[in-house]
């Protein structure tokens, strides 16, 4: 590892990857500790199935270990891992939905369906709902999104990948990522507003 390569990776990721490539099991375990939750969450979001997400998690790290010698370090290790996980997740989706092919780069209807209908201020959702209820509401809303929107939303807004990284990982153009992210955000907002909007009687109480 050259000093410049280490400097480019202040969280020590590049150094860990280099050690793991040399066959240090502790280094690979550290990479697993770092990213397992994120990979599980991504797979769970795309496949919408807990069993499939677990399979994807295992296959992703097993494949990553196998193919580590071929990892060139041109991207972050994490985005390389995400690419494996996305491909594995799509295979699971295709297997479950034998009636139609699922591809994240299929053209999706991004037409005029995003015109907001629910326009209302929110109450504080964290005060109104328990953590368990919030999880349920958030899961239900995200499940209503088509898979291509879900993947873009999770990578951009939850994992905080850049637009360019998301485009590379999903084999999409940058404008396609932007369009899908906007549709995903607006659709989720619409769904969540049904749960979180301030009740009319509360508004009257304020008068």
**Is position 173 an interface residue for other proteins (rule: CB under 8 A)?**
no
**Is position 200 an interface residue for other proteins (rule: CB under 8 A)?**
no
Dist CA 5 CA 2 (whole Å): 5
Would you state the torsion angle of the CA atoms of residues 22, 57, 186, 148, taken in this order, to the nearest 10 degrees?
A: 90
What single-letter DSSP state applies at residue 75?
A: S
Q: Specify the stretch interacting with other proteins by CB under 8 A; choose among 5-13, 31-39, 82-90, 94-102.
A: 31-39
Q: Which of 122, 115, 41 is nearest to 85 (CA)?
A: 41
Q: Minimum distance from CB of 75 to other proteins (Å)?
A: 22
**Is position 76 an interface residue for other proteins (rule: CB under 8 A)?**
no
Two tokens, residue 173: 């153009």
The Cβ-side half-sphere exposure at 38, using a 13 Å CA radius, reads 18
Q: Return the SS3 of 169.
A: helix
- Considering CB under 8 A, how many residues would be counted as binding other proteins? 49
Report the length, in residues, of the chain.
Answer: 207
Q: Which of 8/122 has CB closer to other proteins?
A: 122
Choosing from 18, 114, 128, 146, the residue that interacts with other proteins (CB under 8 A) is: 114
Choosing from 1, 25, 194, 202, the residue that interacts with other proteins (CB under 8 A) is: 25
**Is position 203 an interface residue for other proteins (rule: CB under 8 A)?**
no
Q: Which of 80/180 has CB closer to other proteins?
A: 180
Q: Which of 11/157 has CB closer to other proteins?
A: 157
> What is the SS3 assignment for 103-124?
CCCCCCCCCCCCCCCCCCCECC
Beta bridge partners of 122: 197
Q: Binding pattern to other proteins, positions 118-147, x when CB under 8 A?
A: -xxxx--x-----x--xxx-xx--x-----
Phi and psi dihedrals of 122, rounded to 5? -95, 145
What single-letter DSSP state applies at residue 156?
A: I
Q: Which residues bind other proteins (CB under 8 A)?
A: 22-25, 28-29, 32, 36-37, 40-41, 44-45, 50, 53-54, 57-58, 61-62, 65-66, 114, 116, 119-122, 125, 131, 134-136, 138-139, 142, 153, 157-158, 178, 181-182, 185-186, 188-189, 192-193, 196
């Amino acid at each position: 590892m050259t000093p410049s390569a280490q400097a480019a990776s202040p969280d020590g990721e590049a150094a860990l990857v280099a050690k793991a490539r040399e066959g240090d099991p502790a280094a690979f375990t550290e990479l697993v500790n770092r990213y397992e939750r994120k990979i599980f969450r991504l797979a769970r979001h795309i496949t919408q199935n807990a069993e499939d997400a677990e399979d994807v998690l295992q296959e992703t790290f097993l494949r990553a270990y196998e193919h580590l010698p071929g990892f060139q370090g041109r991207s972050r290790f994490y985005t390389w891992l995400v690419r494996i996980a996305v491909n594995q997740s799509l295979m699971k989706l295709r297997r479950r939905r034998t009636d139609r092919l699922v591809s994240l780069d299929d053209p999706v209807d991004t037409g005029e369906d995003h015109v907001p209908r629910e326009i209302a201020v929110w109450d504080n959702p964290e005060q109104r709902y328990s953590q368990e209820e919030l999880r349920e509401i958030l899961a239900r809303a995200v499940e209503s999104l088509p898979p291509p929107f879900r993947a873009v939303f999770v990578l951009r807004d939850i994992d905080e990948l850049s637009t360019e990284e998301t485009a590379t990982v999903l084999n999409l153009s940058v404008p396609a990522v932007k369009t899908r992210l906007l549709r995903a955000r607006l659709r989720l907002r619409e769904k969540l507003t049904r749960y979180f909007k301030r009740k009319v009687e509360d508004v009257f109480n304020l008068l």
